[in-house]
Structure 1
Amino acid sequence: MQLPGTTLLVIDDDDHVRQRISAHMERGGYDVLQARDASEGLAIFNAQRPGLVLCDLHLGDNSGFALVREITERDQDMPVIVISADGVMADVVEALRLGASDYLIKPLDDLVVLEHAVARSLERSRLSLENQRIRERLERANRELENHLKELRDDQAAGHQVQLNMLPASPWASGEYRFEHRLIPSLYLSGDFVDYFRVSDSQLAFYLADVSGHGSSSAFVTVLLKFMTTRLMYEQRKAESSGRIEFKPSDVLSHINRSLIACNLGKHVTMLGGVIDEQQQTLTYSIGGHLPLPVIFADGEASYLQGRGRPVGLFEDAEYQDEVIDLPAQFSLALCSDGVLDCLEGTTLKEKEARLPQLFAESGGALRGLMAGLGIDPNKTMPDDISVLVLGRNAE
């Protein structure tokens, strides 16, 4: 059965050879066009564009070389088989250099050899065209991918700027208290978030959150956290109208828990939240499934605060408890995301957790010293998001 693209053009000034080749190839299922000289062959080639050209290299006017050059320049993918009568290898090499795909030596006693040469050249041509189409498709796909990556980078840059704008100033002082944080994303966008703000004339609030997962979907939840806490404070401010307001950390975690479940985002958060009462000199805090626990440094010693609670956004029946401690005259409190655990020495979680208070004590309760002790390089890609919040009173 003849396949598309199997029209052959035979160019030879020897009528007997040309007709013999043509008759044999037609019996093999090919359509065959014939030309007896270079000008006629070129005219037929331009008009018909066959699938393959068989060309005698030494036509009567010795124009075979020029014809091969002309055909391959017009269509570099066109397979051209040259036929050399005298078998001079220099001529064959020159023809191949000009773009011929194969060569045969006269006399062509066994035309089966010609069939194989034609089939081989057509197959190479087909593969070459297919490879070219594949390259073109890949180039288009690469261009589209580059455009998508640029859009993604632009989106991430915008999201990164949004996150930076949402973060509080660092360091930040209010009354006797000083807050400072560092946030190092494992990707361009972070699933960690910290915030601190004044609730009333005598109350300061803060929290550290670690959203499950990484990247833009987790970063989006940090925007929701900022909105939820701000909205809750606004609603309570309206209810209280003035003075102190009831801004309990457990209420905040419960509110966020309900909201995340209702949003059905498939994300949950581990959180630490607290409120400092400047009049009573107390800290009220609540824990939402977060590790490591907060570390307090006072009188030269560091230890974990106690407490427990379920992750936020997973369980509808989750309840959160408020823990209350008296604040020392001088202290520092460190809140860390679980990415910090990857930076601690030790082979077990227990060993790593034991090391964190030691490092905080060695740093004198200072953020810079703690970061140095953890060996965290802000310019180095980390395996997980890392956030550290240090707050305190009369602490360097």
Structure 2
Amino acid sequence: MVKHLTKDKNYLYPALALLGSLVVFLILGMLGPFMHTTIENKNFLALHIVFEFISILFSFSIFTLVFYTYKENSNSRSILLAFIFLTIGTIDTFHTLYYKGMPEFFTPSCAFKATAFWVISRLIMSAGFLLAVIISGDKPFRISRWFVPVMSFLVSAAVFYLVVFRRDLVPEFYIEGQGLTPLKIYAEYAIISLQVITAALSIHEYSRTGNRSPIIFATALIISIFSELCFTLYISVYDLYNFMGHIYKIISYSVMFNVLFIQNVRLPYQKLKEADLILKNHAKTLEREVSRARDQIFDTNKKLYRDIEYAREIQQSMLPEKKLDFGEVEFFSSLIPNQMLSGDFYNVFEIDDNNIGVYVVDVSGHGISSAIMTIFADRTILTNKLDPYKQQLLLSPAQVLNDLFSLYNSSNFPAEMYMLMFYGVFNRITGEFTYSSAGLNTQPLYISGPEITALECDSAFPICKMGKFIQPSFKNSILKLNPGDRIFIYSDGLTEAVNREEMPFTEERLMGILRRNHTLSAEELFYEIFDRFTCFVLDKKLEDDVTLMLIQC
């Protein structure tokens, strides 16, 4: 038997397919976290449309070949394969139309629908291939060829209705922010198992009959198995494992197309064979172009990442020291960004010999644009300090916010962006803390011994592009601080952060920490809050930036 295998070169096809696919797959595995790098949404969507178009074209071409040669090859296997490829081609079209980021089609596109269509299509394909291999290829099956498109339409329509309009009946295969569900991974393993069995039966059929088509079909299935393995490993629908899964899929489909072409088309269809050769050449050219484009995207992303890293270092360098002691008052602060660049910012600075200014700003959104907006706020406020005529303006938080609102509306900032800010001034002589808020959606906490009170703010209007319609009136509030009194200022990223169980940190948890530890020193209390928070979220990715500041009189 072994001697027979070594002499028969046709066994090299599945062997080389297995070896080549495995080597590529192992190389991808050695790349580690790099394979979870996400391609920019619009670029990935363009690539995804191209890849799916090619595979859909293969599916419909295979159906067309079998459909129009059915009279000459009317057997049960051919009619089943025609049904399978027409159905999965249609469902793959739905998968492409509803891929996350695509325009709305009846209902909005999302990862759930695209993944559901994908799993159903792969299950139909794998189960159908196994059935096609089990049944006799020579058994006649006399039935109208129009039975195939009618049944395919009914099945595809049923799948479309369930996934698009009856989501409650379809299990979750992908959860935004978390990735693949265990059910999706188990489904892929079931698909792989069916394909392994089908490939083994196809090789056995070749050894029994000598017909070359089954072993070439097994070769395609082996490549398809590695495609499914890639789809068990991706985290984001835009990462490189997803990308490579589509590459494997296209290669597998091209091999299947070749098998069924040889099986169903003879000399009268020679021109169709030449067209197939042209299509393969175009596919290879497209693959090279896509590979070149992918390299360019990688280089661009690398440069962008380096620039963002520099910007992060610059932004962090603009923050004050985490501990500042001015004698009469101490400040403890920290900023935890949810991305490399933060939309939160704060500062503590001496206005004059008797007054210390402090502010916390929370800009809508995250990333580069939000970080630039925080620098705008910081430079606008500190510029007044350098001007002797405007320095007194910094002593009135309400006036600072009014001027910042006016300047923001006179600038060419995007209308959808806005800033939330809390600004305060501590007077060293009187111990008074004068403050005003521009919509900061958390209330600073006044801590006097075990008593904790939320500071009341007269205005909750943000710094936004609404100056043409309304002119908010920010007002000052004054709080007399006695020695030992404290003020805790924080952004909503603190209380809204969730842990692995999706439970939020909450204001109640924060208040409990403050009450139980009010006897600690200010520095000890600050780091108690910080440590409790970091232990709560652990490695869970933050959805928002987090700012913490404790003022000790």
Report if aligned partners of 2:446, 2:452 keep a CA contact under 8 Å in 1: yes
- 3-state SS of 2:316 partner: helix
The structure with the largest strand share of the pair is 1
Give how far 1:222 is off: 0.7
Q: Is residue 478 of structure 2 the alignment partner of residue 324 of structure 1?
A: yes
- Equivalenced residue count is 282
Distance in 1 separating the partners of 2:296 and 2:444: 47
**1:167–1:377 CA distance, 2 compared to 1 (3 A):** farther
Q: Is residue 551 of structure 2 the alignment partner of residue 391 of structure 1?
A: yes
Q: Which residue of 2 aligns with 1:313?
A: 464
Report if aligned partners of 1:259, 1:313 keep a CA contact under 8 Å in 2: no
Distance in 1 separating the partners of 2:370 and 2:332: 23
Q: Pick from 428, 436, 449: which aligns with 1:299? A: 449
Q: Which residue of 2 aligns with 1:369?
A: 528
Structure 2 letter corresponding to 1:114: L
Report if aligned partners of 2:351, 2:394 keep a CA contact under 8 Å in 1: no
Give how far 1:355 is off: 4.4
Larger displacement relative to structure 2 (331-340 or 210-219)? 331-340
Structure 1 letter corresponding to 2:266: V
- 3-state SS of 1:163 partner: helix
Give how far 1:348 is off: 12
- 3-state SS of 1:273 partner: strand
- 3-state SS of 2:293 partner: helix
Distance in 1 separating the partners of 2:552 and 2:302: 43
- 3-state SS of 2:458 partner: coil
Report if aligned partners of 1:302, 1:358 keep a CA contact under 8 Å in 2: no
Structure 2 letter corresponding to 1:312: I
Larger displacement relative to structure 2 (361-370 or 134-143)? 361-370
Structure 1 letter corresponding to 2:551: L
Report if aligned partners of 2:357, 2:394 keep a CA contact under 8 Å in 1: no
Q: Which residue of 2 aligns with 1:114?
A: 267
- 3-state SS of 1:167 partner: coil
Structure 1 letter corresponding to 2:545: D
Q: Is residue 494 of structure 2 the alignment partner of residue 340 of structure 1?
A: yes
Larger displacement relative to structure 2 (374-383 or 175-184)? 374-383
Structure 1 letter corresponding to 2:552: G
Distance in 1 separating the partners of 2:285 and 2:517: 63
Report if aligned partners of 1:204, 1:275 keep a CA contact under 8 Å in 2: yes
Q: Which residue of 2 aligns with 1:147?
A: 299
Q: Is residue 344 of structure 2 the alignment partner of residue 192 of structure 1?
A: yes
Deviations 1:111-141 (CA, angstroms, capped at 9, x unpaired) = x93343x335423321221111211121122
| TM-score (structure 1 length as normaliser) | 0.65
**1:341–1:246 CA distance, 2 compared to 1 (3 A):** closer
Q: Which residue of 2 aligns with 1:262?
A: 410
Q: Which residue of 1 aligns with 2:329?
A: 177
Report if aligned partners of 1:171, 1:180 keep a CA contact under 8 Å in 2: yes
**1:314–1:348 CA distance, 2 compared to 1 (3 A):** farther
Identity %: 22
Distance in 2 separating the partners of 1:245 and 1:272: 16
Q: Which residue of 2 aligns with 1:284?
A: 434
Q: Which residue of 2 aligns with 1:251?
A: 399
Q: Which residue of 2 aligns with 1:129?
A: 281
| TM-score (structure 2 length as normaliser) | 0.47
Distance in 2 separating the partners of 1:178 and 1:223: 24
- 3-state SS of 2:339 partner: coil
- 3-state SS of 1:194 partner: strand
Q: Is residue 386 of structure 2 the alignment partner of residue 214 of structure 1?
A: no
Q: Which residue of 2 aligns with 1:25?
A: none
Q: Which runs of 5 or more structure 1 residues have no equivalent in the other structure?
A: 1-88, 103-111
**1:339–1:252 CA distance, 2 compared to 1 (3 A):** same
| Structure ID, larger Rg | 1
The structure with the largest helix share of the pair is 2
Distance in 1 separating the partners of 2:393 and 2:369: 33
Report if aligned partners of 1:254, 1:319 keep a CA contact under 8 Å in 2: yes
- Pairwise CA RMSD of aligned residues? 3.0
